[in-house]
Structure 1
Amino acid sequence: MDLGQVLHMNGGVGEKSYANNSLLQQKVISTTKLLRDESIINVCGNTLPKSLAIADLGCSCGPNTLLVISETIKVVEKLYKKMTHKSPEYKIFLNDLPGNDFNTIFQSLDTFKENLRNEIKTEMDHCYIFGAPGSFYSRLFPDNSMHFVHSSYSLQFLSKVPEGVDDNKGNIYLSSTSPSNVLKAYYDQYKTDFSYFLKCRAQELVEGGCLFVTLIGRQSEDPSSKEISYLWDFMSVALNDMVLEGIIKEENLNSFNVPLYYPSLSEVKLEVLTEGSFSINQLDSSQIIFKELDNYKDAFNSKISGSLTEDGYNLGQCIRAIAEPLLVGHFGESVTKEAFNRFQKYVTDNVPKDRTKITNITMILTKRP
């Protein structure tokens, strides 16, 4: 299975789309805003570049896609106005895998630019927006060309399913029943991917450029911790039930593992220090209680409209918007639909939302001389 083609969020604007089930991601972007503002001011404050290159890696498609870009430009405009300096030329690069719904993004760009100009109430010099399809586990931009690279809730995805996990039978991710070699294979793949990600970004950023990343991580040092992997355990239960009922062949289930890794803070720090291209400005973790999202939508006037039910923000729908294309690529559409219906029932019946927490790891890195 070619992950570059099947690993993407649900497109469009329907009930199961990522656009209508990305409130958690929007909350995280809002939570990290002050840190992003400070970071882009630090990048621009000393030199006030005439041309500013910004990239968002793993941009997906939906209300969040241009949110970081919009907020960043507003901060830069305010800074340049304060310094009585002409607005810079903006070069904005939106990156995701080729299967991402770029068409919907491109169709919204004229409206985005018009709304942005009305909000900042100043004439930006020029703002050019480009699509940059491809894996961020590879080179995306020319040497020394980027000033600020951002990524939110994307880097927990691996470049591929780790090799040597064939004996992870009955599981689709790391579990308490996964053999030790499977845990090692996932960790080794994470180290390889993250180290190369850092190397590529270091080549692309200008000296003093900033890499700002938020991803889902874990508090525990145990990679099979139930903190977040329990959700994949529920999907495993759903798929195993379908094996027992003859809907799925056992070998088809045993050959499927999700390409994800939720690192601990110490694992992230070790790789940044080992790779060596960046200074650490900030590296910490925080948690979001899932129940809080029920009130977030109204409080922040969110444009996301399909993710709230009578029981509040729907955790099952959130996971479905992210993972459905991956399962369809392996099991087929009809099987995947049934699996998610079962998965959602397991989540609703068994997960107390007031105790469900998502651990976020945020890193702010500066390219070394």
Structure 2
Amino acid sequence: MDVARVLHANGGAKEITYAKNSSAQKQVLSLTKPFVEEALHDYFGGTHIPDKMVIADLGCSSGPNALIPASEIIDTVHGQCQKLGRRSPEFMVFLNDLPGNDFNDIFTSLQPDFFSKRREDEQCRVAGVPGSFYGRLFLSRSLHFVHSSSSLHWLSQIPSGLDAKNGPMQNKGNIYITKTSTKTVMNTYKQQFKTDFNLFLKSRAEEMVSGGRMLLTFMGRMFDDPTTKEGFNHHMEMIAQSLMNMVSEGIIPEEKVDCFNLPCYVACTEEVKDIVENEGSFVMNRLESMQVDVVDCEGDNVLLSRGERVARMVRAMLESILGYHFGMELMDDLFTRYVDVVNSYLQTANYKFTVFVLSLTRQ
């Protein structure tokens, strides 16, 4: 499976779009705003302020959240420059995501929602950069500030060795790591994350100026054991359960589930620390975790059951890759079953997931 081609959040105008079902990701942006401001204040605490500032938002997706980071970064820099009695730099903002992302939605919203809020003395240009951030995207030593939210838990590919084309199926009945997964499956996922995150850091190190800042937020886990039933893990088990219900009714062949593994990994803090320290290009200023309740929402979704809210959020993120493998015609059935499973689970539990906030400085 070509993950870079297949994986993308739902775009367009239908109800199950990322734009209409991303309030949890908006919560993450709100909670991490102080960390963005801290990184920028530290960066501009010195005497040098560049005449031109280049910002990259990696994994920007689409919808109303896509321009929030850029707006907040520009506003923070402008405020800091005013305090220092300096003129604000010109801004170049690069919005990056995989080629299947709905970039048209982003650029349609630029006028008037984005540029009308900019002050006359804030010169700002915005460009889209389609492509995987697991590799080079920008010119050498050109970026001053890199931001990424709710993206780095996605892998560049299905972990090597778990793709059915590369050998026997090793994670039968599962689509991610569970208690029934073998050590081989766990280690394969861990190694793929290590390879990808290391490449991400190396690529950004080549693209960033010395002293540049990077603020990353992505899903993680609180415990060393990757099979612990935390938010993300448990809900991937519930999707697998829904798929296996369809198998039992003859709707999906069992081997179709057995050969599917999500290209995603939620790491623990020690794994993240080890990769950053061993790669060596960045100083780690912060690595913190927070809990986000994905049942909290806004807009029309408040009228839905708690299970429907969660299912819409998950479907907006995963439908492209699940539909590619199992068939888009089965997605309504799958997520109807998933709603029932989630509603049952939420009768006795809350659905919170762990988010890591990682602040780095380019050495």
> Normalised by the size of structure 1, how large is the TM-score?
0.92
**1:344 Cα shift?**
1.6
**1:258 Cα shift?**
0.5
What are the within-5 Å matches in structure 2 for residues 182-201 of structure 1?
182-201=185-204
**Unaligned regions of 5+ residues in structure 2, if any?**
163-168
Distance change >3 Å, CA 244–CA 311, structure 1 → 2: closer
The aligned counterpart of 2:210 is: 207
CA contact (8 A) 1:13 1:20 kept: no
**In structure 2, C-alpha distance between the alignment counterparts of 1:112 and 1:90, rounded to whole Å:** 17
Alignment RMSD: 1.5
The aligned counterpart of 1:307 is: 301
Distance change >3 Å, CA 115–CA 354, structure 1 → 2: farther
The aligned counterpart of 1:53 is: 54
The aligned counterpart of 1:115 is: 116
The aligned counterpart of 2:145 is: 148
The aligned counterpart of 2:36 is: 36
Distance change >3 Å, CA 198–CA 250, structure 1 → 2: same
**1:13 Cα shift?**
3.9
The aligned counterpart of 1:341 is: 336
Over residues 183-207 of structure 1, what are the superposed CA-to-partner deviations in whole Å (9 max), with x where a residue is unaligned?
A: 1100010100011111111111100
**1:81 counterpart letter in structure 2:** Q
**In structure 2, C-alpha distance between the alignment counterparts of 1:353 and 1:27, rounded to whole Å:** 23
Distance change >3 Å, CA 128–CA 82, structure 1 → 2: same
**1:5 Cα shift?**
1.5
**In structure 2, C-alpha distance between the alignment counterparts of 1:256 and 1:365, rounded to whole Å:** 34
**In structure 2, C-alpha distance between the alignment counterparts of 1:107 and 1:92, rounded to whole Å:** 16
2:224 paired residue among 221, 225, 230: 221
**In structure 2, C-alpha distance between the alignment counterparts of 1:27 and 1:110, rounded to whole Å:** 24
What are the within-5 Å matches in structure 2 for residues 315-354 of structure 1?
315-352=310-347
Aligned to 2:155, what secondary structure does the other structure show? Answer: coil
The aligned counterpart of 2:87 is: 86
What are the within-5 Å matches in structure 2 for residues 122-137 of structure 1?
122-137=119-134
**1:129 Cα shift?**
0.3
What are the within-5 Å matches in structure 2 for residues 97-108 of structure 1?
97-108=98-109
**2:120 counterpart letter in structure 1:** E
Moved over 6 A (4+): none
**1:340 Cα shift?**
1.4
Identical aligned pairs, as a percentage? 42
CA contact (8 A) 2:57 2:96 kept: yes
**In structure 2, C-alpha distance between the alignment counterparts of 1:353 and 1:15, rounded to whole Å:** 28
**1:310 Cα shift?**
4.0
> Normalised by the size of structure 2, how large is the TM-score?
0.94
**1:18 Cα shift?**
0.5
Q: Is residue 275 of structure 1 aligned with residue 299 of structure 2?
A: no
Q: How many aligned positions are there?
A: 354
CA contact (8 A) 1:174 1:229 kept: yes
Aligned to 1:40, what secondary structure does the other structure show? Answer: helix
**1:352 Cα shift?**
4.1
**Unaligned regions of 5+ residues in structure 1, if any?**
298-304
**2:302 counterpart letter in structure 1:** L
Distance change >3 Å, CA 320–CA 244, structure 1 → 2: same
**In structure 2, C-alpha distance between the alignment counterparts of 1:146 and 1:320, rounded to whole Å:** 34
**1:150 Cα shift?**
0.4
**In structure 2, C-alpha distance between the alignment counterparts of 1:66 and 1:260, rounded to whole Å:** 24
